[in-house]
Structure 1
Amino acid sequence: MSEVAQICSDLIRFDTTNPGAGERPAAEYVAGLLSEAGAEPVVFESAPHRTNVVARIPGDSPEALLIHGHLDVVPAEPADWRIHPFSGEVVDGCVWGRGAVDMKGTLSMTLALVRDWARRGVRPERDLVLAFLADEEATGEYGSRYAATRHRELFDGCTEAISESGGYSVQAQDARVYPVAVGERGTAWMRLTARGVAGHGSRPPVRNAVAELCHAVSRIASHRWPVRLTPAVSALIDSLEEILGERIDRDRLEEEAERLGRVGTLFRAQIRNSANPTMIQAGYKVNVIPGSAVAHVDGRFLPGLREEFLETIDRLLGPGVTREFVNLEDGPSAPMEAPFFERMCSALRAEDPAARPVPYVMSGGTDAKAFARIGIAGYGFAPLLLDPGLDYLGMFHGVDERVPVTGLEFGVRVLDRLLASPSPGVT
């Protein structure tokens, strides 16, 4: 088994479910691998067992690049999986388990690369800051937010960053599209509260909190958000038209996304804001009208559209329901017209002549938000060459998550091209 596959398998076997027992054992494993490669990892905890690891690999230039990823994973129910989600087994050429794509596979590529460099005496072109973080699958409070504020000095010199959710292949006719993320939608996780008058369930209600809340949630769920084409999404669609050799009707983008299949998923969720009700809590007995009811909504808004999003939510809530934020973060963006963006694209094309890199905006969110606050422009670049039949995006938080061993090995080669000094020297 190749080293990258072995590291990925080992990382998956650490159950770092969030919420759960924490990331400490996985963090200690990572720190050990880095130490063996000659690095001096800094290990710190934001709370018991919420462990983070940061290491700097000296390069030929003090200007630094941040490579960050998260050690935690979302829950997995073993009964739903073909292979146990924390086994890390290699079956049918893939490493299986929770975190294989989100994002222990990516972490394994970084670790395998720096260990290979140590053996060969290779230096990176510029300083690399490697961050292995806790709590990305929640708010990042115990991971990226804590690291960026309480340990800001560890990221000195970092101007750009790469992390998950970009650089993977999507088959498009005779070409392979590689979306390189230049931004992501902002996050507005909201707690909605309706307050009414408690009373007996058999009597006419004075003001029923459950009903008020349900009406508000229904208005939010059924709202048709308008299409808003940001520059990055517009550039993506332009690129796809060129690659596919056909026009994509901008007046029917949702239908066009459906028609284009997996290529269409690259823009389907990124053309508008969204708000999805996810939890409701109310009442304690069938014949009692409760005095309050609570719901949670996962809101996402495109870069620059925060105020429009919140104004719409407030209108949909109506006067009887209030909101408060569980998490509110703007959508970060990084420049498309930048030398580093072109370098990522060139590294992909060098390893895959059929590669057609395109700019991309993530529908969800990552730790890039926390680092954007301290001036680091974040890109989604975790290169993977995938079998066309593998539903990569569908495995994020899904069942039977797995990553091809050959895809991981491809990713290590791409990162080597991107990050190694043109004239490797002995460290």
Structure 2
Amino acid sequence: MDVAQLTSSLIRIRSENPPGSTADVVAFIEEFLDSLGVKSRIVSHPGGRDNLVTTGAGSRLLLCGHVDVVPAIPDDWTHDPYSAEVADGYVWGRGATDMKGGCAALLIAYRDVIESGVEPKVQFAFVCDEETGGEHGIRSLLAQDLLEPRECLIAEPTPETSPAIGQKGLYRVDLSFRGRPGHSSLYPLVGKSAVMAAFDLLGYLREVHARPFPVEEDLQPLIKEGARVFSEIFGIEGGEDILTRVMFNPGRIEGGEKANIVAEQCRMELDIRVPWGCSLDDLRKGIAEHAPDAVIHEMDVAEPSLTPPDARIVRTVTREVARVYGTAAPFLQWAASDAKYLRDRGFEVLEYGPGEIPTLHAVDERVSVEQLERAVDVYRGVIRAYSG
């Protein structure tokens, strides 16, 4: 079985989150590893939320991936999102880029190293719910002390020559605003609108977003590389602003009772990305001050995180990427992943993996066969470096 075939097999095993069951895909990976003589443990949670951790002493590197995927509606896809077609140089389907292609490349590289006569000194962790915050996945494994702090490679999709060594912080909150109802014809003299309270908070966040946060001199090259990567991927400028400013998205708002009633209630789910140099505590206080009548429920909180550029995992992966592609440069990432939880527990984490990033979570998600094969080459070199 080659890496494209394994990617296709993983895509065909449905593991949408929600609803969140990964039992079938984890069982498939367990069988694959068992065929290589690798012992593993399945850590289960209700709803089929299964994780897999390999066991055995002497591992120096953690290889990590998530096997849950976001849902897909087949409309407008060139190939059905769960048919996992291999066509036109790509493997097509939901999870091809995020991130079953990366998981397959890790497994094939591991198999190749074994078949070359080298005993890999690495541990695997395949987790169930990165797409919904990691409560039953990486956070659960860390809470149970099933993973010891060490160097870690997550096979999340990145640009071909750009390993990701840091991520902006995350502040995701659910706010419930309360107003005082009245007749709409008398507002704003009578009544207090919960909807307008939410609107006022967004105005404050626009002000926060308008100013960049200065970064220390040693981060500036990484910021510039991140801006270059952003421009390359999306074909637009503004990457430096994304990395140095607070970005926010009111992903869901619902409120009010009727057009002629001053809104008594409003609920907003807010996703905020926090740059280096921005105090998360100050941001929290500012939000609380500008939403004094709201109940604020924090769903996910993480400071910006960074693995030092001179860390062994960064030097090793960068060297192997340069060997395969001729060039390599680490960058800072604007999104978030399980890396933040691992760094909080003392892991030195880097992300590098295959994928067509513009198709991530999108229609016609796919990964090129060439990228998969080159990722296997990179991973083989990294595994050998930690197994010598």
Relative to the length of structure 2, the TM-score reads 0.89
Say if 1:233 and 1:360, in contact at 8 Å, map to a contact too: no
**Unaligned residue ranges in structure 2 (runs of 5+):** none
Post-superposition offset of 1:423: 8.4
| Change beyond 3 A, Cα 1:264–1:285 | closer
Mapping for residues 336-347 of structure 1, pairs under 5 Å? 336-347=309-320
Post-superposition offset of 1:334: 0.8
* 1:19 is the counterpart of 2:10: no
Amino acid at match of 1:120: S
Paired position in structure 2 for 1:243: none
Alpha-carbon distance between aligned partners in 2 of 1:229 and 1:29, rounded to the nearest angstrom: 45
Mapping for residues 159-198 of structure 1, pairs under 5 Å? 159-165=150-156, 168-169=159-160, 178-198=161-181
| Change beyond 3 A, Cα 1:231–1:164 | farther
Identity score, percent: 27
1:174-203 residue CA offsets vs partner (Å, 9 max, x unmatched) = xxxx22211111111111222111345455
* 1:405 is the counterpart of 2:378: no
Counterpart selection for 1:123 from 119, 123, 138: 119
Worse overlay, 100-109 or 193-202:
193-202
Paired position in structure 1 for 2:131: 137
Alpha-carbon distance between aligned partners in 1 of 2:138 and 2:245, rounded to the nearest angstrom: 27
Paired position in structure 2 for 1:220: 205
Counterpart selection for 2:287 from 308, 313, 318: 313
* 1:146 is the counterpart of 2:140: yes
Worse overlay, 301-310 or 19-28:
301-310
Alpha-carbon distance between aligned partners in 2 of 1:399 and 1:260, rounded to the nearest angstrom: 16
Amino acid at match of 1:155: L
Amino acid at match of 2:352: F
Say if 1:43 and 1:53, in contact at 8 Å, map to a contact too: yes
Alpha-carbon distance between aligned partners in 2 of 1:92 and 1:218, rounded to the nearest angstrom: 47
What number of residue pairs does the alignment pair up? 384
* 1:42 is the counterpart of 2:33: no
Post-superposition offset of 1:136: 0.4
1:123-154 residue CA offsets vs partner (Å, 9 max, x unmatched) = 22xx311000011001100101001112x1x3
| Change beyond 3 A, Cα 1:239–1:207 | closer
Alpha-carbon distance between aligned partners in 2 of 1:96 and 1:214, rounded to the nearest angstrom: 41
Mapping for residues 290-301 of structure 1, pairs under 5 Å? 290-301=263-274
Alpha-carbon distance between aligned partners in 1 of 2:193 and 2:248, rounded to the nearest angstrom: 24
Amino acid at match of 1:397: H
Amino acid at match of 1:400: D
* 1:375 is the counterpart of 2:346: yes
Alpha-carbon distance between aligned partners in 2 of 1:155 and 1:87, rounded to the nearest angstrom: 34
Post-superposition offset of 1:377: 1.4
| Change beyond 3 A, Cα 1:128–1:17 | same
Relative to the length of structure 1, the TM-score reads 0.81
Post-superposition offset of 1:258: 5.9
**Unaligned residue ranges in structure 1 (runs of 5+):** 170-177, 241-252, 387-391
* Aligned-CA RMSD value: 2.8
Alpha-carbon distance between aligned partners in 2 of 1:40 and 1:410, rounded to the nearest angstrom: 27
2:17 counterpart SS class: coil
Mapping for residues 221-370 of structure 1, pairs under 5 Å? 221=206, 223-230=209-216, 233-236=219-222, 262=235, 267-303=240-276, 305=278, 306-314=280-288, 317-353=290-326, 355=327, 357-370=328-341
Alpha-carbon distance between aligned partners in 1 of 2:157 and 2:381, rounded to the nearest angstrom: 17
